[in-house]
Structure 1
Amino acid sequence: MVLRRHLLAATSLLAAPLPLRAQSAWPNGPIRIVVPFPPGGSTDAMARLLQPRLTQELGVPVVVENRGGASGALGTAQVARAAPDGNTWLIVFDTHAVNPALIPSIGFDTQRDLTSLLLFGTAPMVLTAHRTRPYRSLAQVVEAAKARPETVTYGTIGNGSLAHLTMELAQRAGGFRLVHVPYRGGGPLATAAVAGEVDLPIATRPAIGVHIDSGALLPLAQTGATRSPSMPDIPTLAEAGIPGIDARAFWGFLGPAGLPAPIKERMEAAIRKTLDIPEVRQRVIGLGIDLDPQGEAVFAPFVARQMEIWGRVVRENNIRPD
């Protein structure tokens, strides 16, 4: 009788629809975390911090796969087209919310084709001046730019990046004009910044924080509405004289649309447990991220708001990708 019950249960499971069978067996691994950028950036660092702990927590191999290109859109498209079986996930940066407006042929719907599982946290960008430049405040930059329009340069990680869009807003609000110098990612920008190739590098602390700490770059303002806990001594744009801007980079964990609730719940719980480990938590904060994990109920509308805000800036300024 016991054997018969086991056989009936097994037969019922095999006869069940594939999604039900997949979630009953999950995690069955290996699990992929797609990083839609080359190795070395903050999304890659986040993935590799999570990888060993998730492997241990879920009991299956977790691998990190770098799929760079198109400001993260190529790797994201791969996950958007993946089966919702819990074996393919994605870590994104703020370009995730800009790309739909910047790349019309992106090939997927950011809101419909993906599950915004967990927002790790945010971080303002920091507008800095190279130590060889005369600027010690944003007011001095604005004064110089108004006296000599389009002669002062600022550098970002790329055309259409959040830093680029933020500076477009700041220039419009402050009535001054700078020259934009886009680089192809955080690594090239950091190298150019410390070499003094541009007057005003702007990026998140994960990208240029080491050069701020060394004194090579002097922080002038941060782009959040309030001061970041990781940078309490740096004024906001509003405090420096340009109000109305709240521009924060963000990092998040996503999967394909249609994921079964049990899979979403278990993965989110595993990530939150990992982030609660003091060593992991400190390393994430050390990246310059204001860690504040928020689930799908917060993350999904957050992405929608970011898409609306930055999509408008892209359209109004006719910005095109590099």
Structure 2
Amino acid sequence: MNLLAFCRAFFRPVAVALATLCFTVHPAANAADLYPSRPVKIIVGYTPGGSSDTVARLLARNLQLELKESFIVENKPGAGGLLGAQAVAKSPADGYTLLMAISSHTILPSVHKKMPYDTEKDFLPIATVGTSPNMLVVRTDSPWRSLADFIKAAKAAPGTISYATPGIGTTTHVTAAMVAQAAGIQINHIPYKGSNEVMQSVLSKQVPLAVASIITAGAAIRDGRLRALAIVGPERSPLLPDVPTFEEQGIKGILGDNWLGLLAPAHTPQAIVSKLESTIKGLLAQPEIQRSLEAQGVAPQFGTGAAFGKTISRELKVYAELSKVTKFGG
């Protein structure tokens, strides 16, 4: 065998093996490098102007700048966020349809006996972005100047005072149900499709009271149109330091310090999820974005996908037990 024939015989199998390896490894190895190659939709399960919508639009603008591709926010309101989540759960697992979720995501299974998706199995957590606690708010011309005033009025006329929230099974609904149980009062729930409608209903005097996050009601409180009677949390929020907590006013154990986070359909390639997670982490480290979130009523708080998944699992169990006691699904 001459030298040329030897080289052909020896190196051809090696070349074929290397080519095969490149073609089998290349797509997975470069999935993150090629993403995104077309516009990405971020679904929000509520009307424009609410907490998840506000943060989704801020995140979309900055992801677009960072990843050089369009990120478009699409609102699919209804059923306390369920319709938007359902749309994402049924979407292709390719990273081009994402869900901006809030804490209500883990409450819905305790409200609806038959869910159109599995809250854990049908989604892949990407990252958390921040938190925004709930508050009990009234107009500034309300006779209730404190939480004690409101509770006294509710006890004097059981079942006659109505309150607004963005929907059944939202964190605001749970907060109100817990307050009612802890204070021993009966109040009527009026659910709307989104936070914007809740604010309009209170400001236009359709309802005297609402439960809303800092994102939703913070601006109206600062400009004097609304008064916050109490806020959820172990201590006062630095975003509204003059608002007392439920805790310091004697109403303990109230939940509603909402997280906001991004989810993908289950089975989305891990390389894409990891790229989004690391990009969001970098964005949240920027002082300008931190200030933008705080201006919207959100305390910036990055959480990994793994930590986010544990939070979801834990809250599903907590709210399932809580629903048996407070009956917030009713």
* TM-score class normalised by the smaller sequence: 0.7 to 0.9
Give the partner amino acid of 2:156: A
Query: Over aligned residues, Cα RMSD in angstroms?
Result: 2.8
Aligned position for 1:105: 114
Aligned position for 2:180: 171
| Cα deviation, residue 277, structure 1 | 3.0
TM-score (norm 1): 0.87
Measured at CA, do residues 57 and 243 of structure 1 come closer, stay the same or move farther in structure 2, by a change above 3 Å? same
Which of 25, 28, 40 is residue 37 of structure 2 equivalent to?
28
Which of 74, 79, 86 is residue 95 of structure 2 equivalent to?
86
**Aligned ranges for residues 205-284 of structure 1 at < 5 Å?**
205-284=214-293
112-121 or 224-233, which moves further after superposition? Answer: 224-233
TM-score (norm 2): 0.85
| Cα deviation, residue 59, structure 1 | 3.2
Aligned position for 2:76: 67
In the TM superposition, what whole-angstrom CA distance separates every residue of 1:153-183 from its partner, at most 9, and x where no partner exists? 3222223322222122112112222233333
Distance 1:265 1:292 in 2: 18
Aligned position for 2:169: 160
Alignment size in residue pairs: 319
Q: Is the 8 A contact 2:44 2:53 kept in 1?
A: yes
Distance 1:183 1:129 in 2: 17
- Find the residue that maps to 2:94 and give its secondary structure: coil
Give the partner amino acid of 2:96: N
Q: Is the 8 A contact 2:49 2:195 kept in 1?
A: no
Aligned position for 2:207: 198
Distance 2:113 2:102 in 1: 19
Q: Is the 8 A contact 2:101 2:262 kept in 1?
A: yes
Which of 283, 292, 311 is residue 302 of structure 1 equivalent to?
311
Q: Is the 8 A contact 1:115 1:254 kept in 2?
A: yes
Give the partner amino acid of 1:265: S
- Find the residue that maps to 1:263 and give its secondary structure: helix
| Cα deviation, residue 262, structure 1 | 2.6
Aligned position for 1:123: 132
**Aligned ranges for residues 30-69 of structure 1 at < 5 Å?**
30-69=39-78
- Find the residue that maps to 1:239 and give its secondary structure: helix
Measured at CA, do residues 278 and 320 of structure 1 come closer, stay the same or move farther in structure 2, by a change above 3 Å? same
Identical aligned residues as a percent? 32
Gaps of 5+ in 2: 1-6
Give the partner amino acid of 1:101: S
Distance 1:165 1:60 in 2: 38
Distance 2:276 2:260 in 1: 16
Q: Is the 8 A contact 1:160 1:314 kept in 2?
A: no
Aligned position for 1:134: 143
Q: Is the 8 A contact 1:14 1:21 kept in 2?
A: no
Distance 1:33 1:244 in 2: 33
Aligned position for 2:3: none
Q: Is the 8 A contact 2:164 2:191 kept in 1?
A: yes
- Find the residue that maps to 1:60 and give its secondary structure: coil
Q: Is the 8 A contact 2:41 2:72 kept in 1?
A: yes
Which of 288, 292, 307 is residue 301 of structure 2 equivalent to?
292
Larger Rg belongs to: 2
Aligned position for 2:156: 147
Q: Is the 8 A contact 1:97 1:310 kept in 2?
A: yes
Distance 1:13 1:74 in 2: 42
132-141 or 54-63, which moves further after superposition? Answer: 54-63
- Find the residue that maps to 2:131 and give its secondary structure: strand
Gaps of 5+ in 1: none
| Cα deviation, residue 202, structure 1 | 1.6
Give the partner amino acid of 2:174: L
Distance 2:17 2:69 in 1: 28
Which of 180, 185, 197 is residue 189 of structure 2 equivalent to?
180
Distance 1:130 1:66 in 2: 28
